[in-house]
Structure 1
């Protein structure tokens, strides 16, 4: 009985979390002549078609928007992986004055809602002349406090003996970081990469505030045009949603082996 209850709960969680995505996928594959509001609902398309995806590309420049989102996401992943790794290593393995206060600053940064500082961020971008550029979209999330703390915990869990031996052999701080510490926390770096990509790819509010030229719009803002103009045709909206979600699924499938290993690395403190 207990096993049955567990499977029922797992099935309920699966339907709640994955069900909407599967329904959107089904809607995006239904043709124009098929009633998506049928009662009772029909989950499987009677005549599956991919024409809705080509129609999305004909209505809005979805691939240009996707390219802008990809540029922002790749830049965000690179800056977070490099910056968070260096900051996390310094906080966990190096000694310097004010180390505790620096760690406290990163912890407190997690408690500040992003919406409360968006006005200040926008004024800074405008003062620097970066508004309406992809650089302004990247900078606020270039190094996340959460990613720094994840890397800090992963580096803190490493054994001291290997690094001490390298120090005796004459390795400096940079060599110990690049050749010993980083290869040992590849899983956590994968977690940081996935989190950074997801955050930047899905971000809607900040790009909406800082961007004005449609040529610089990211995919989330571009799909909002689709929602407003063609709200009556849910097939196009569903197809646009799948286009936006597909890169996230592909990234997770590619890095899932490192992701689950990295969750354990970042959660253990030595």
Structure 2
């Protein structure tokens, strides 16, 4: 698993001729940082990081909020047709995501949002997976807790905010982690909806290094390493929460 990362790092210090040699050269003859400086100057990495950060933060906030609200409603509100409505919500998980690209693009086009950062955010502010995960958690919470809150004078809104959300910390972290990861590596949608480099996130911005006929692989690897470092730093900082969030998706609280 770690070999492709090592190969990328070694290639990022090679010259173009060294990266194309056959048989392949594992270690560069001389370690150069010019690929990093060249790719940083060739692409607006500052805009890439800003766009990616905005996209991730807004997606995570709204996705966690909407997933928690919808999951609680599906788990606790008993009305006729709720199970059918939940099945409809789950339908996007049962078909390839590429099916939704055309209607999403037409919608963004009619709203005049093509080639904007907003167009990167809107399709990801609601999560079917997050709704399902939060519903399963709220269904595992004993109803006696809600009954006690109602006896203390809580309505549904107050009970949701002050009682249920504090209990749902772990699944909310899980939704936030998966939303952030999906947003970070989202490639196809940003390439379709945005054409200006200063409106692209990191994933689609790096695709600009892929040439039609030839590709400067050392610069491509250098750009990939630059894009990977922030996520690795965040992982080491929030390693405990990351592992806890991933583990909670496979166990019942």
TM-score of the superposed pair, with normalisation by structure 2: 0.87
Report how many aligned residue pairs link the two structures.
252
1:101 maps to: 84
Q: How does 1:1-270 map to 2 (within 5 A)?
A: 17-28=1-12, 30=13, 32=15, 35-36=18-19, 37=21, 39=23, 41-42=25-26, 48=31, 50-228=33-211, 231-268=214-251
Structure 1: segments with no counterpart, 5+ residues: 1-16
| CA offsets 1:213-240 (integer angstroms, 9 cap, x no match) | 3321222222122222895432211111
Q: Distance in 2 between matches of 1:105 and 1:250?
A: 38
* Contact 1:157-1:269 within 8 A present in 2 as well: yes
* Contact 1:154-1:265 within 8 A present in 2 as well: no
Give the 3 Å change call, closer, same or farther, for CA 86–33 of structure 1 in structure 2. closer
Name the stretch that deviates more: 183-192 or 227-236.
Answer: 227-236
Q: 1:241 deviation in Å?
A: 0.7
Q: 1:163 deviation in Å?
A: 2.5
Q: 1:264 deviation in Å?
A: 4.4
1:13 maps to: none
RMSD: 2.5
* Contact 1:77-1:193 within 8 A present in 2 as well: yes
Q: 1:146 deviation in Å?
A: 0.9
* Contact 2:67-2:131 within 8 A present in 1 as well: yes
1:4 maps to: none
Structure 2: segments with no counterpart, 5+ residues: none
Q: Secondary structure at the match of 1:129?
A: coil
Give the 3 Å change call, closer, same or farther, for CA 18–31 of structure 1 in structure 2. closer
TM-score of the superposed pair, with normalisation by structure 1: 0.82
Q: 1:185 deviation in Å?
A: 2.2
| CA offsets 1:100-151 (integer angstroms, 9 cap, x no match) | 1121112222112121121111111111222221111211121111111111
* Contact 2:174-2:248 within 8 A present in 1 as well: no
Q: Distance in 1 between matches of 2:75 and 2:145?
A: 15
Q: Secondary structure at the match of 1:228?
A: coil
* Contact 1:153-1:266 within 8 A present in 2 as well: no
Q: Distance in 2 between matches of 1:227 and 1:206?
A: 17
Q: 1:269 deviation in Å?
A: 5.1
Give the 3 Å change call, closer, same or farther, for CA 48–255 of structure 1 in structure 2. same
* Contact 2:16-2:218 within 8 A present in 1 as well: no
Q: Secondary structure at the match of 2:113?
A: coil
